[in-house]
Chains A and B, each alone.
Chain A
Amino acid sequence: MERVIARWLPRTYLTLVYVLLYLPILVLVVFSFNASRTGYQWDGLSLHWYESLFNNRAMVKAMWNSLWLALVAATVSTVIGALTALALHRYRFRGKRMLNGMLFVVMMSPEIVLAISLLALFLLIGMQLGFMSLLLAHVTFCLPFVVITVMARLSGFDERLPEAARDLGASDFTMTRTVLIPVIMPALMAGWLLGFTLSLDDVVVSTFVSGPSYEILPLRIYSMVRVGLKPEVNALGTLLLVFSLVMLMLSQWILMRSKR
């Protein structure tokens, strides 16, 4: 008896917690296909809310704004993050520990602390809040995640390869381009996907550093869900969840494949 409990109790517990974690998401997805206007009763299947979503021009515009911002932010943070990781991995330089420390602090500190510090900076230098301020902020909070993804890849790497390339006369730049970049490619792609998703989902930092000239999706959702229930949000939320899930699966697939 005791062995049966010892065997099944942990499994039951794991299952229960997973069910609780996924139940709200499931409800959201199911309700996004609900015909009901009030959003609580089930009135049959309908794609009505998806339709009204795509007929809302301001919404579609915010969607494109968000996707464009995420695309640029992910790309810039991947480039800078990869260079940072390479520098931390290969070079000895002054203040290396401080650099590491700053990246760690960005990752650990509450988003709101980062958000107000950037707002203060942008207003001090007189920058108009809009695409540029959002981009700088998003790149900054994505950066540490790209760096650790690439560092993880570099740490299991045969150090003799770059040495060999140097001995054969390659310059630092050539060696990086022909030896290191191909090695870290999977990590770059995974870091890019993570950055894209983080940028697309960010509410806290964007609340502070966005301006009326560039409206993005998370802030539109935020203004919609503060009061009551909006069936359109069910549809929009479902789309965002599916999108993020695809990005995550893609990233896992890339990393898994590269391990073989």
Chain B
Amino acid sequence: MTKGARQPFRTAVLILVWGWLLMLVLAPNLLVVGTSVLSRDPAEFIRLPFTLDNYIRLMDPLYLDVFLHSLYMAAVTTICCLIIGYPFAWALSRVSKRRQTLLVFLLIVPFWTNSLVRTYALKLLLATNGLINNALLAIGVIDEPLTLLYTELAVIIGLVYLLLPFMILPLYSVFDDLRDELLLASHDLGAGRWSTFVHVVVPLTLPGVLAGVLLVLLPAMGMFYVADVLGGSRNLLVGNVIKNQFLDARDWPFGAAASVLLTVAMAVLLFAHRLSRRRLGEEGG
């Protein structure tokens, strides 16, 4: 169709939208990929020749340790969110509809409020003379304060605290769609509770689980301020490494390579999510 020429409004809108996304999303991301295969330059940030050295350096034991530690903390965070969030989402979907509106609202609040401020609020609880230690000392459970702040545990607590709603919301949406009739049918066909859970509930909620994992695992590797505020200098996330390379060490190609790694991880998770939904769609009809 040649409508474009006769519709100046349509043309203008499309140019604006495409222009913005190409300039500020596509081009910058290509730049990062490009940077990741260039060499470091102390003055101009980057220079030729092309090299894969940055990716090889990611495997350097020094950084590999940091990455694996970060991945470990992110994985533990994700598992904790899943263990807390799965039964939570199920229970939430079984509450009366009127209460659900309020309860879901209470889950969205964290999304709208400053996560740095909430990370800092955790500090008030976890500090050596913070509320948790004071409370435990007061009731005599412990004799001297526990070291909670600036530990791996503090980082994981912080990440779980910030990211739990992002696990719960997609899970809630799949549980909300789960029809009671299906569970009854499974029961009528002779399946026990466990069997119903494994063969009916788990497959039907799998897309929600994967969406939740996607929304928790990647941010858990990138949220550098959580590690900064709660973790001290030894519990770094991939985000801290990228930030240090870009803002302090000025080794852009290496930081860019680490960022490409995160993007690839995201792509893999997105693909798994799509696959699970498609499989479900085929089985369902």
Contacts and interface: CB of A to CB of B under 8 A. Distances in A.
Q: Do A and B bind each other?
A: yes
Interface of A: 10-11, 13-14, 17-18, 20-25, 27-28, 31, 38-40, 80, 83-84, 86-87, 91, 93, 95, 99, 102-103, 105-106, 108-114, 116-121, 123-124, 136-137, 139-140, 143, 171-173, 176, 194, 197, 200-201, 203-204, 207-208, 218, 221-222, 225-226, 229, 233-234, 236-237, 240-241, 244-245, 247-248, 252
22 contacts: A10-B94, A13-B91, A14-B91, A24-B124, A27-B124, A31-B124, A80-B20, A84-B17, A87-B14, A91-B10, A106-B25, A110-B219, A124-B31, A173-B8, A173-B9, A207-B243, A208-B246, A225-B119, A234-B124, A236-B117, A237-B117, A237-B121
A203 B117 CA distance: 10
A14 B222 contact: no
Contacts of B130: 40
Nearest to B220: A110
Interface stretch (B65-73, B103-111, B178-186, B277-285): B103-111
Interface string B77-117: 00000001001101110110000000101101110111111
Contact of A28 (B92, B124, B215): B124
A177 B17 CA distance: 18
A201 B114 contact: yes
In the A-B complex, the 3 residue pairs with the closest CB atoms: A117-B28, A10-B91, A110-B222
A245 B105 CA distance: 11
Contacts, number: 217
Given A13-B88, A27-B131, A118-B24, A110 B262 contact: yes
A173 to B, nearest CB: 4
B134 A225 contact: no
Interface string B215-252: 10011011111001100000000010011001100001
B40 interface: no
Q: Is the interface of B mostly helix, strand, loop or mixed?
A: helix
A252 B263 CA distance: 33
B191 interface: no
B125 A27 contact: yes
**Residue in B105, B221, B259 with the greatest tally of chain A CB atoms within 10 Å:** B259
B17 A80 contact: yes
A114 B20 CA distance: 14
A83 B25 contact: no
Interface string B7-47: 11110011011101101111111011001000000000100
B120 interface: yes
Given A13-B87, A24-B122, A140-B24, A222 B9 contact: no
A203 B225 contact: yes
B22 to A, nearest CB: 9
A197 to B, nearest CB: 5
B124 to A, nearest CB: 5
Contacts of B228: 222, 226
Nearest to B245: A116
Interface string B261-284: 011001000100000000000000
B164 interface: yes
B266 A240 contact: no
Contacts of A38: 129
A112 B109 CA distance: 23
Contact of A108 (B8, B87, B266): B266
Contacts of B204: none
Contacts of A123: 45
A117 to B, nearest CB: 3
Nearest to A218: B116
A176 B8 CA distance: 13
Contacts of B247: 207-208
Contacts of B239: 110, 112, 204
Given A20-B161, A114-B28, A241-B113, 7 more contacts: A40-B131, A91-B10, A110-B221, A116-B255, A120-B252, A121-B27, A241-B114
A245 B174 CA distance: 27
A90 B146 CA distance: 60
B112 A112 contact: no
Nearest to A194: B112
A86 B7 CA distance: 14
A237 B17 CA distance: 35
Contacts of B95: 10, 14
B110 A21 contact: yes
A116 B112 contact: no
B127 interface: yes
